[in-house]
Amino acid sequence: MLVTGSSPEELASMTVAQLKQLCRDAGLKVSGLKRELVDRLRFAEIADDTDALILDDEDVEPVVEEVQEVTAELDASREAKVAQLRERLLSEMEKQREVEAEGEVLEAEILEADVLDAEFDDEPFEADLLDADIIEVEEVFKPKAVSPLDAAAQVSRSTRNVLTRPSTLAVLVVLSLLAGGGYWYYTTNLDPFIADPTTYGDRMDFGINSGSLDIEGEEMVRAFDDTTGGALQDVCTEMHISFTGVGHVAVARGTTSQLIDGSDTELIGAVRAQGPYGRTFLAVEQELEHSLSATFSGKTLVLDKCTTSFERSGYAFDQTTTTWTEVTDKTLLRSDSEVSLERDGVINRNRAVSYGLPTASLTEFLPELLLPLKPVDLHNLFGNALLKPGNTGANDGWTWTVGDVIPTSDNLGLKVYVKNTDVEQCLGHAQMTLHVIPGSPWPVMQQVDMKIEKPRHDSPTCGAFTELLLDQAFPDGALKLRYTMTRLTHSEGVGMIDWGAGYGGRPRAGDDVPEPGEAWGQEGLHMPDSASASETSRQWLLEEGVQCIITNAGDASEAAAAFSNGGYVWRAHDTRGQGAPQWNVSWVDANGAGWVIVERTDTDGSCQVVTKGGYDSDAAPDFKRDGIPETLSIGEVEQRLADADRYPVLANEILTSGELRDDVSIGYVLQLPPDSGDLLDFSSLLDQYREGGVVVNGEREWSEAGFSHTLSYAIDAERARMVGWVISSSNS
């Protein structure tokens, strides 16, 4: 029922005396200016409307019962603290009242600040406080019954000013305590939610602090040095890096022009991207960027001894990684990462382009071992699981447990604990603490604690297949990574990503994928090259280089004997553009392994042996003809490389006029799996790895604009699937 039954216009037209009478009839304070009296009456009308809604709701339990339940839950210690605070508050308020009672205007302001809606002059203050205790409990346990927006709209400017006074804030704090913890129930009451997926145009800027990376072991140090383009060549055995900085993660939003088929308008936002065979797909493009300040310390070589400690500050470490994930299969098509390390004007850059993994099996059995400084994609981790305190789940080797509701800078959220069980079984630990909130596809806070240690890969809990892969692919040593990432800003995108959707013009399986036709593993001496002018412009092919070795058997007797007794070439690379063309040929047979460099001396085909050597037994590859797969020819793979439409970025670096540059080498390497009788018992898992792999690869070195550059590329020789390439640059 309304307090006055009058509209706001009618209240405004009344006199002060009439308004005071209405306040008196409604049990409200009668002091204050006319504007304040009108606001008080209007606010009381809203409160009465809300009370009526509460009483009409049959599903709501009686307020009295809730008050009794709250009161019953108060323990003795809480009651004692409340009593102390109440006495303290009453004493302070009484002193304040005596001081402010000297002026009528001040008295009106104090009464206006009274959140208990009762006058000091009519009843004892303590009684008002106890009445407010019950009222506060009603508001806490019926939060949906009162519209905070409507109520706030009725508060006048003078009332807002009063509510910010220290004395008023003290009252509000005590009322929260007297409510038996109800305030905290209200402010930590977060409805369960599902993590939002990323959308086209999403972007989050973040800060990184407390970052540390500890690297131990020579192989591990060298692996990290490779990623920085050789900027840390003098570091040995151990290295420690502390870092802070900022970064962002963003999902691109493509336009209609990016669609392969213009009728696929539901996929607007996706972009065109080329996969490992150079075919064009629709993909989701995501960019991750960091700008960090770093301090390096560790051990360095002095007179060939790794004993001297060092510390170097002032490094600027920048990284940008862009990935393209295919819309239909949700598989990684390509990633392009560039790292730059600069100090005192010396710049080292390393750009690496890779094309996912060749088989799904590697993704399945080899977990994500190295966590980059990347915000976790929450929907990828949690899927459609309902997030609420106590819930648990697992996904792709990651297990998670939802902790308590927590306040964040943006909203209420949840603390989630995440760890990788596969890493724990084989390598160490990978743990994360995430703060997640509704509406954000990434955590607002992410703490990472990871330790990777290869010596642990032979632990009894590590699977045999995973052990094989780690032994071959992971460097010896240990790596520890810790950092805290905090969200700074978030821009919401538009347009959901329709994962799994098909589209017009999508390449079919097998389209434009060549079939291997060269079975040289049984009797051949080497991977076939080609003399077809349409496939290569090279003037001296591998066939001619191997024939040169056989012809000059006196100068390369070991190699010639190996070829006549079933041996073969497991690695070969040419050199052009630096004088006469050469082939560096590495051979192996049942008795040993070695290498020979031969050179063409004239265009009539004459040649000579330049130098030769042998491999120690521990460096010699296995001799295993039955592990050599069928391949394409070197010329056929070269023809794919020379197609600028397939790999346009690489083409800019290695081609001129549609042909390989003279300073770009080409060749191949055969990689065989190690013998392991125990592992081969896992036939269902290892059948596809019994055979080795053949990779066509090459290099280019050049100088430009004050920088020296080195490029290395690799492409699968069986079906011409691009593996990737790396460009290292330095001005030192």
Note the pLDDT tens digit of each residue in 360-409.
333 333 334 334 688 999 999 999 999 999 999 998 889 999 999 999 88
Rg of the chain on CA atoms, in Å: 37
What is the rounded distance in angstroms from the CA atom of residue 465 to the CA atom of residue 685?
8
Q: Are 242 and 316 in contact (CB under 8 A)?
A: no
Query: What distance lies between CA 445 and its chain's CA centroid?
Result: 12
What is the rounded distance in angstroms from the CA atom of residue 589 to the CA atom of residue 594?
9
List the structure tokens of 607. Answer: 């040649």
Local structure of residue 423 (DSSP, 8 states): H
pLDDT at 84 over 90: no
The region of weakest confidence among 44-53, 121-130, 269-278, 652-661 is 121-130
More confident residue, 348 or 678: 348
Strand partners, 311: 297
Q: Are 570 and 590 in contact (CB under 8 A)?
A: no
Ordered DSSP codes for 233-286: TTEEEEEEEEEEEEEEEEE----GGG-SSTT-GGGBTBEEEE-TTS-EEEEEEE
- C-alpha distances out from residue 169 to 149, 404, 681, Å: 20, 27, 73
Torsion of CA 160, 166, 169, 170, to 10 degrees: -160
Q: Are 423 and 452 in contact (CB under 8 A)?
A: yes
Strand partners, 432: 418, 448
Nearest CA to 665 among 688, 698, 640, 625? 698
Which residue do the tokens 């307020």 mark?
Answer: 63
Give per-residue burial for 357-392: e unless 16+ CB within 10 Å, then b. eeeeeeeeebbebebebbbbbbbebbeebebeeeee
Torsion of CA 297, 302, 307, 308, to 10 degrees: -40
List the structure tokens of 200. Answer: 């086209």
pLDDT at 112 over 60: no
Q: Which pTM does this prediction carry?
A: 0.71
Number of H helices, E strands in the chain: 21, 23
More confident residue, 70 or 439: 439
Mean pLDDT of the chain: 78
Note the pLDDT tens digit of each residue in 512-556.
999 998 899 888 999 999 766 567 789 899 999 999 999 998 899
Phi, psi of 106 (to 5 degrees): -65, -40
List the structure tokens of 558. Answer: 């070991």
List the structure tokens of 485. Answer: 């990432």
What is the share, in percent, of the chain residues with pLDDT greater than 90? 52
List the structure tokens of 140. Answer: 């806490």
Nearest CA to 378 among 194, 634, 620, 612? 194
List the structure tokens of 516. Answer: 């291997």
List the structure tokens of 325. Answer: 């994930």
What is the rounded distance in angstroms from the CA atom of residue 307 to the CA atom of residue 283?
50
Nearest CA to 226 among 310, 341, 362? 341
What is the rounded distance in angstroms from the CA atom of residue 704 to the CA atom of residue 128?
83
- C-alpha distances out from residue 565 to 250, 523, 583, 590, Å: 59, 11, 22, 9
More confident residue, 608 or 53: 608
Note the pLDDT tens digit of each residue in 679-715.
333 333 334 444 568 999 999 999 999 999 999 999 9
Where residue 442 falls among pLDDT bands split at 50, 70, 90? very high
* Per-residue confidence (pLDDT) for residue 270, from 0 to 100: 98
